[in-house]
């Protein structure tokens, strides 16, 4: 086989020798530069450990070392990967699937840097001009709506939930628990104002008394005299609603405890701000127009429509700015996100959408010689949109960059110049390079990826007969256009369509809300703390601690890093976090416990020769073989369920925060197996799955249906679609071009439809 240098020219390849990160077993290979290299392999085979944990980590670490020490102290600290040699590295830009940072003030427009261009455009070419560019920003006092402070939504106290008006203040009229149950609500202050009768029921209050209670009244002139050991002092009287707003509504509620968030949400209502009608800006900013439109109207347009508006701007100063904004917006359209609007809040984006938006930022860059690293960029993409993604990858390569992609999708693999296949299995059975070379060679290779690429599956020969139907009538949420559809029960249904066509809205929102008994298994974060692990989430950690306690004579709490067994230095986190002013905190592995989370004395106790850290480092498969003793059947059954959903490679002690969206979804599914008569709703369950693992998942889904359940999937994978009993195809496009049901029926019937892009790709797949 020709070397990478011989195949791709004189540019010296990236060299990795003896990589041993996680499950990698002394991996050595050369990765060509100025080429697209796709890393494949079953889930857990070591792809991410090689690309992200080794190559990207070392690139970031060495780049930081080029800065002076005082700058380095402010930058994130990266551990040196365990490898003998890493050579010929370039600056690495990682485009992953982590949700974008930010809150409701972060939008597609701010994330792509298009919104600053629009603000500049309106300050230069708008009429009447409200001021400089900051006057059009909803994130600065100069431009934001004074009523909602630029959020676009108004949160108000729900008086019916906050008060029991049949009671008095001293009789428990305030129902908000954080005021009613603690000193945060100073009853004594309200008694001493002289404005209110603490024993009078609130339903008998006059309008003046309600004003005094809620907003302080008397223009803040009321003073309350208090005494303490240090002497007397005077305190201004604050209305109850003003106090609530200051303590909770004017702060970032997402940073508060879960109990506080739930308590606040229980006594508040949220709606469109009446002052700005949800447009976030003050009247002066909303009065300015360019090309007959306000900035709020432009940001509310879908990207495909906004391009044409910007290209029509004719103004001496504004035209160059509008053209630059149009180029950025067009890049959104080029990667299949033309249905998004610039005012879409980033927390509402899917992982795949967020990843593609991050990529947009790099398309206009003039940098070359950069290594771009993508983590499954086809996630959430319909086959119709994968072609756009491939063109993006090719453009980055052709500009003189190296593109590394961790991916399972056949169409993405097909455009690779070089392929590295990891395996042969997952976890301890993986960590090796089982093939490297071109795509044609991979198709002939005797690896699981090669076998799957050669395999051609047809349509299901016989579909199941529905037992009934879940009705949806007149759905109009988001882009849905008065949609009515019957989702059959007792069968496997796949809901498909291009990105933005309304699939998730129809199923994840409308169906679930109208049929609340459905078991929703999505990719959202699991309801657990940052200290949670698969063992604790599946409810077997208590059994494991009890078995260690019985074997050693110690108490069970000693074998918990959340209790007495925790490392004293890091408190059982396994890492230390250093808060940095004006920067992200720096996280490093705890030097005392080496990341094990446990105190050293705990590790002296053994269960069948294994310390607690060694047990937590076991994969589900290994743990199933280890826990064979009396009283350990619960652990074995939990591990079997992990293997059933394709997560047998996870370790018992792995942090749940490290799992991908697809892994989180399958972990949730593992806790719900065994139910009968349930309706399972899943959002792209094949996310992060190798083609071989998809076959395992399909077997599980078929078994769920055969046991009397209903399974409804929002999915793009054609192998899954071909195994469906019923298909609902949404479209025809995304955004305002979608929102309609194009087809309902069997996969075979769909394949004959000429008006569906899903049908077009299904036919192409069936033809090989």
Q: Which of 172-176, 185-189, 293-297, 359-363 has the lowest mean pLDDT?
A: 185-189
709 and 610, same structural domain? Answer: no
148 and 158, same structural domain? Answer: no
284 and 142, same structural domain? Answer: yes
For residues 530 and 293, the model is more confident at 293
Number of DSSP helices (H) and strands (E) in the chain, helices first: 33, 23
Q: Look at residue 141 and tell me if it is in a domain.
A: yes
Dist CA 719 CA 734 (whole Å): 23
Provide the β-strand partners of residue 714. Answer: 495, 683
Dist CA 588 CA 571 (whole Å): 14
Which residues are within 8 A (CB) of 251 and not within 5 positions of it... i.e. 6 or more apart?
Answer: none
Q: Look at residue 747 and tell me if it is in a domain.
A: yes
Query: How confident is the model over 481-500, as a mean pLDDT?
Result: 94
Quote the mean pLDDT of the chain. 87
Assign 1 a pLDDT band (cuts: 50, 70, 90).
very low
258 and 183, same structural domain? Answer: yes
Q: Which domain-ending residue is among 402, 430, 454?
A: 454
Torsion of CA 672, 677, 680, 685, to 10 degrees: 70
Provide the β-strand partners of residue 405. Answer: 38, 374
Q: By three-state DSSP, how is residue 215 classified?
A: helix
Assign 236 a pLDDT band (cuts: 50, 70, 90).
low
Output DSSP code: residue 82: S
Angle, helices 383-398 vs 351-363, to 10°: value is: 30
Q: Which of 148-152, 232-236, 447-451 has the lowest mean pLDDT?
A: 232-236
Start-to-end C-alpha separation, the chain: 28
User: pLDDT tens-digit profile of 543-574?
Assistant: 999 999 999 999 999 999 988 999 998 888 88
Query: Residue 595: which region, alpha, beta or left (left: phi > 0; alpha: psi -120 to 50)?
Result: left
> What pLDDT is recorded for position 567?
92
Assign 484 a pLDDT band (cuts: 50, 70, 90).
very high
182 and 94, same structural domain? Answer: no
Query: How confident is the model over 70-77, as a mean pLDDT?
Result: 79
Q: Look at residue 343 and tell me if it is in a domain.
A: no
> What pLDDT is recorded for position 581?
46
Angle 585-588-594 from CA coordinates, rounded to 5°: 155
What's the CATH code of the domain at 246?
Answer: 1.10.8.280
Q: Look at residue 342 and tell me if it is in a domain.
A: no
Q: Where are the beta strands (DSSP E) in 124-186?
A: 153-157
262 and 168, same structural domain? Answer: yes
User: pLDDT tens-digit profile of 83-100?
Assistant: 999 999 999 999 887 766
Query: How confident is the model over 381-396, as a mean pLDDT?
Result: 88
145 and 86, same structural domain? Answer: no
Q: Look at residue 666 and tell me if it is in a domain.
A: no
Q: Which domain-ending residue is among 222, 250, 272?
A: 272
Q: Look at residue 340 and tell me if it is in a domain.
A: no
Determine contact, residues 209/196, Cβ cutoff 8 Å.
yes
> Residue 37: enclosing H or E segment and its boundaries?
strand 36-40
> What pLDDT is recorded for position 584?
45
- State yes or no: pLDDT of 226 exceeds 70: no
Q: Look at residue 560 and tell me if it is in a domain.
A: yes
Dist CA 310 CA 290 (whole Å): 9
Query: Residue 430: which region, alpha, beta or left (left: phi > 0; alpha: psi -120 to 50)?
Result: beta
Nearest to 342 by CA among 292, 279, 389: 279
Q: By three-state DSSP, how is residue 251 classified?
A: coil
> What pLDDT is recorded for position 523?
72
Query: How confident is the model over 597-609, as a mean pLDDT?
Result: 93
Dist CA 668 CA 647 (whole Å): 11
Query: How confident is the model over 722-750, as a mean pLDDT?
Result: 94
Count structural domains, the chain: 5
- State yes or no: pLDDT of 223 exceeds 70: no
For residues 734 and 104, the model is more confident at 734
Q: b/e for 613-642, b at 16 or more Cβ within 10 A?
A: bebbbbbbbbbbebbeeeebeebbebbebb
484 and 561, same structural domain? Answer: no
- The two beta strands, 679-683 and 519-521, are parallel
Provide the β-strand partners of residue 602. Answer: none
SS3 labels along 365-416: CCCCCCEEEEECCCCCCCHHHHHHHHHHHHHHHHCCCEEEEECCCHHHHHCC
Total-model pTM: 0.81
> What pLDDT is recorded for position 184?
43
Where in the sequence is the domain holding 291, given as residue range(s)?
108-152+275-335
Q: b/e for 22-54, b at 16 or more Cβ within 10 A?
A: bbbeebebbbbbbbbbbbbbbbbbbbbbbbbbb
Assign 534 a pLDDT band (cuts: 50, 70, 90).
very high
Token duo for residue 603: 């590790």
Dist CA 344 CA 55 (whole Å): 34
Q: By three-state DSSP, how is residue 669 classified?
A: helix
170 and 263, same structural domain? Answer: yes
Determine contact, residues 502/483, Cβ cutoff 8 Å.
yes
Query: How confident is the model over 493-521, as a mean pLDDT?
Result: 91
Provide the β-strand partners of residue 14. Answer: 31
Start-end of H helices in 456-591: 503-504, 512-514, 534-537, 541-552
User: pLDDT tens-digit profile of 702-724?
Assistant: 999 999 999 999 999 999 999 99
> What pLDDT is recorded for position 195?
74
Q: Look at residue 112 and tell me if it is in a domain.
A: yes
160 and 146, same structural domain? Answer: no
pLDDT above 90 covers a percentage of the chain that reads: 55
What's the CATH code of the domain at 330?
Answer: 1.20.1580.10
Query: How confident is the model over 760-765, as a mean pLDDT?
Result: 93
What's the CATH code of the domain at 483?
Answer: 3.40.50.300
Q: Which of 347-356, 381-390, 749-758 has the lowest mean pLDDT?
A: 347-356
- State yes or no: pLDDT of 4 exceeds 70: no
Q: Name the one residue in this structure whose structure tokens are 């209502």.
A: 269
651 and 560, same structural domain? Answer: yes
Dist CA 373 CA 473 (whole Å): 44
Dist CA 81 CA 336 (whole Å): 36
Q: Which of 2-6, 348-352, 721-725 has the lowest mean pLDDT?
A: 2-6
- C-alpha distances (whole Å) from 630 to each of 102, 472, 642 are 49, 50, 21
Angle 605-610-614 from CA coordinates, rounded to 5°: 105
Q: Which of 285-294, 422-431, 459-468, 705-714 has the lowest mean pLDDT?
A: 422-431
285 and 143, same structural domain? Answer: yes
pLDDT above 70 covers a percentage of the chain that reads: 90
Dist CA 44 CA 605 (whole Å): 30
Query: How confident is the model over 44-50, as a mean pLDDT?
Result: 91
Nearest to 144 by CA among 135, 132, 156: 135
- State yes or no: pLDDT of 582 exceeds 50: no
Q: Which domain-ending residue is among 629, 658, 687?
A: 658
- State yes or no: pLDDT of 586 exceeds 60: no
- The two beta strands, 519-521 and 492-496, are unpaired
Determine contact, residues 502/619, Cβ cutoff 8 Å.
no
Q: State whether the Cα torsion 631-637-640-645 is positive or negative.
A: negative
- C-alpha distances (whole Å) from 649 to each of 25, 208, 316, 426 are 16, 66, 61, 6
Q: b/e for 585-610, b at 16 or more Cβ within 10 A?
A: ebeeebeebebbbbbeebeebebeee
User: pLDDT tens-digit profile of 11-34?
Assistant: 899 999 999 998 999 999 999 999
> What pLDDT is recorded for position 191?
60
């Amino acid at each position: 086989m020709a070397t990478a240098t011989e195949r791709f020219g004189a540019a010296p390849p990236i060299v990795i020798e003896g990589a041993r990160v996680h499950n990698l077993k002394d991996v050595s290979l050369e990765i060509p530069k100025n080429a697209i290299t796709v890393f494949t392999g079953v889930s857990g085979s070591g792809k991410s450990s090689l690309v992200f944990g080794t190559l990207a980590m070392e690139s970031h670490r060495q780049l930081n070392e080029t800065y002076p020490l005082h700058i380095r102290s402010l930058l994130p600290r990266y551990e040196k990967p365990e490898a003998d040699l890493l050579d010929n590295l370039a600056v690495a830009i990682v485009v992953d699937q982590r949700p974008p940072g930010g809150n409701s003030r972060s939008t597609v427009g701010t994330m792509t840097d298009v919104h600053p261009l629009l603000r500049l455009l309106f300050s230069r070419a708008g009429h009447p001009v409200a001021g400089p560019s900051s006057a059009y920003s909803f994130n600065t006092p100069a431009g934001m709506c004074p009523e909602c402070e630029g959020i676009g939504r108004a949160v108000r106290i729900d008086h019916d939930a906050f008060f029991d008006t049949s009671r008095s203040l001293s009789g428990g009229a305030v129902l908000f628990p954080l005021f009613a149950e603690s000193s945060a609500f100073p009853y004594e202050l309200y008694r001493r104002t002289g404005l209110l009768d603490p024993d009078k029921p609130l339903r008998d209050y006059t309008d003046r008394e309600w004003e005094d209670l809620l907003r302080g009244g008397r223009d803040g002139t009321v003073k309350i005299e208090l005494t303490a050991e240090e002497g007397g002092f005077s305190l201004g009287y604050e209305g109850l609603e003003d106090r609530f707003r200051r303590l909770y509504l004017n702060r970032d509620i997402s940073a508060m405890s879960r109990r506080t968030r739930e308590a606040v949400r229980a006594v508040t209502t949220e709606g469109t701000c009446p002052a700005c009608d949800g447009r976030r800006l003050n009247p002066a900013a909303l009065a300015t127009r360019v090309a007959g439109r306000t900035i709020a109207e432009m940001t509310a347009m879908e990207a495909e429509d906004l391009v044409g508006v910007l290209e029509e701007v004719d103004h001496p100063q504004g035209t160059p700015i509008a053209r630059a904004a149009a180029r950025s917006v067009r890049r959104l359209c080029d990667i299949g996100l033309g249905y998004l609007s610039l005012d879409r809040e980033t927390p509402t984006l899917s992982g795949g959408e967020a990843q593609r938006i991050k990529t947009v930022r790099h398309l206009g860059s003039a940098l070359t010689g950069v290594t771009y690293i993508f983590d499954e960029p086809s996630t959430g993409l319909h086959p119709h949109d994968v072609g756009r993604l491939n063109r993006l990858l090719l453009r980055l390569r052709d500009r003189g960059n190296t593109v590394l992609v961790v991916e399972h999708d056949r169409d993405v693999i097909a455009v690779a110049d070089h392929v590295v296949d990891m395996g042969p299995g997952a976890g301890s059975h993986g960590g090796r390079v089982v093939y490297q070379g071109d795509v044609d060679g991979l198709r002939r290779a005797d690896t699981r990826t090669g076998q799957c690429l050669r395999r051609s599956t047809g349509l299901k020969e016989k579909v199941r007969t529905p037992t009934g139907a879940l009705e949806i009538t007149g759905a109009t949420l988001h882009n849905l256009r008065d949609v009515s559809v019957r989702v059959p029960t007792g069968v496997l249904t796949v809901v498909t369509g291009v990105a933005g066509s309304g699939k998730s809205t129809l199923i994840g929102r409308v169906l679930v809300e109208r049929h609340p008994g459905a078991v929703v298994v999505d990719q959202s974060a699991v309801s657990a703390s940052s200290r949670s692990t698969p063992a604790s989430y599946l409810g077997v950690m208590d059994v494991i601690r009890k078995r260690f306690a019985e074997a050693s004579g110690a108490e069970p709490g000693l074998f918990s890093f959340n209790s007495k067994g925790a490392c004293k230095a890091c408190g059982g986190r396994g890492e230390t976090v250093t808060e940095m002013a004006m920067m992200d905190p720096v996280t490093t592995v705890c030097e005392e416990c080496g990341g094990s989370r446990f105190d050293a004395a705990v590790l002296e106790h053994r269960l069948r020769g294994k310390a607690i850290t060694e047990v937590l480092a076991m994969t589900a498969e290994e743990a199933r073989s280890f826990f064979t003793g009396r009283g350990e059947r619960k652990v074995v059954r939990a591990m079997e369920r992990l293997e059933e959903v394709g997560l047998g490679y996870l370790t018992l002690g792995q942090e749940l925060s490290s799992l991908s969206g697809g892994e989180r979804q399958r972990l949730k599914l593992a806790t719900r197996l065994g139910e009968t008569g349930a309706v399972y709703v899943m959002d792209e369950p094949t996310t992060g799955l190798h083609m071989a693992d998809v076959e395992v998942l399909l077997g599980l889904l078929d078994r769920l249906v055969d046991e009397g359940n209903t399974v409804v999937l929002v999915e793009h994978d054609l192998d899954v679609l071909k195994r469906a009993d019923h298909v609902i195809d949404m479209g025809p496009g995304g955004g305002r071009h979608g929102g309609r049901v194009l087809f309902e029926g069997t996969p075979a019937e769909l394949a004959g439809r000429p008006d569906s892009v899903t049908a077009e790709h299904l036919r192409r797949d069936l033809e090989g």
